[in-house]
Amino acid sequence: MALSAVFDVKEDVLIVRLAGELDHHEAEKLKVVWQNKMYQNPIKHVILNLEAITFMDSSGIGVILGRYKDVLQLGGKMIVCSVSPSIKRLFEMSGLFKIVHLEKNEAFALSTLGVAS
């Protein structure tokens, strides 16, 4: 199964909803569309919803870290939500939670950023 990415903007937040498999092949394509969305919209923060991700490896971590750096440039925050136990393990291994906030779901993530869902 390939990757699908759906983008949504709420106030100054870009919501990225991913579904399918996030590996190196998909990460390189995702980087381009994700970066475009970040610069085409007047946003500051990013919420990454991983609820429908069925597979992820270290290339996924790479693309998330890359966008985290972009969000820092915008002076915003990155929140990851709806993370499965196996993806959580990868994040813990790579120390990602030291820099990226984790929330249970999109609604919690939005309220953390002060946006009504």
Select from 6-14, 74-82, 87-95, 101-109 the region that touches another protein (CB under 8 A). 87-95
**Long-range contacts at 32-38 (CB < 8 A, ≥ 24 apart):** 33/5, 33/7, 34/5, 34/7, 34/63, 34/67, 35/67, 35/70, 37/7, 38/14, 38/67, 38/70, 38/71, 38/74
Find the binder of another protein among 7, 12, 44, 59 (CB under 8 A). 59
Per the CB < 8 A criterion, the answer to whether 74 and 41 are in contact is no
90 contributes a contact to another protein by CB under 8 A: yes
Nearest alpha-carbon partner for 65 in 23, 94, 106:
94
| Least Å from the CB of residue 62 to another protein | 4
Distance (Å, rounded) from C-alpha 105 to C-alpha 81?
5
57 contributes a contact to another protein by CB under 8 A: yes
| Least Å from the CB of residue 32 to another protein | 11
Find the binder of another protein among 6, 9, 33, 93 (CB under 8 A). 93
Using CB under 8 A as the criterion, which residues of the chain lie in contact with another protein when the complex forms? 1-2, 21, 23-25, 27-28, 31, 55, 57-59, 61-63, 65-66, 86, 90, 93-94
